[in-house]
Amino acid sequence: MSEQTSFSQESDASGLNVLSTSIKRVSVKISLIQDAVKNLAQDRALQENKIEDAQKRIQRILSRLPEQSDGRQLNLLGEVVPPNNPEDDNEPTTH
């Protein structure tokens, strides 16, 4: 019976070693996955900020657009452009 006991103890120790090794391997994989998830969350936040900034720039450009009934030249860059008035051709009037 002592042979069975020693075989059983060796088998149990071997099984515990295999189990311990498997647990360590799974723990390493879980750690890698957690790091990847953290990096993805940071990347997503960065992309959301870029999208928000782009939407603000687009909104600023759209706010500069003249009304549809306005026939003036579009100035999307914010530069000062004198209005083009066809009645004022810098010619003296003769009244």
Predicted pLDDT of residue 6: 60
Single-letter residue type at 52: E
Tell whether 6 is covered by a domain: no
Tell whether 37 is covered by a domain: yes
- Domain tally, the chain: 1
pLDDT class of 60 with cuts at 50, 70, 90? very high
Tell whether 40 is covered by a domain: yes
User: Cα separations (Å) of 63 from 38, 57, 58, 81?
Assistant: 38, 10, 9, 17
Give me the domain span that covers residue 37: 33-62
Tell whether 57 is covered by a domain: yes
Tell whether 49 is covered by a domain: yes
pLDDT class of 14 with cuts at 50, 70, 90? confident
Tell whether 12 is covered by a domain: no
pTM: 0.50
Q: Is the pLDDT of residue 69 over 70?
A: no
pLDDT class of 75 with cuts at 50, 70, 90? low
Tell whether 93 is covered by a domain: no
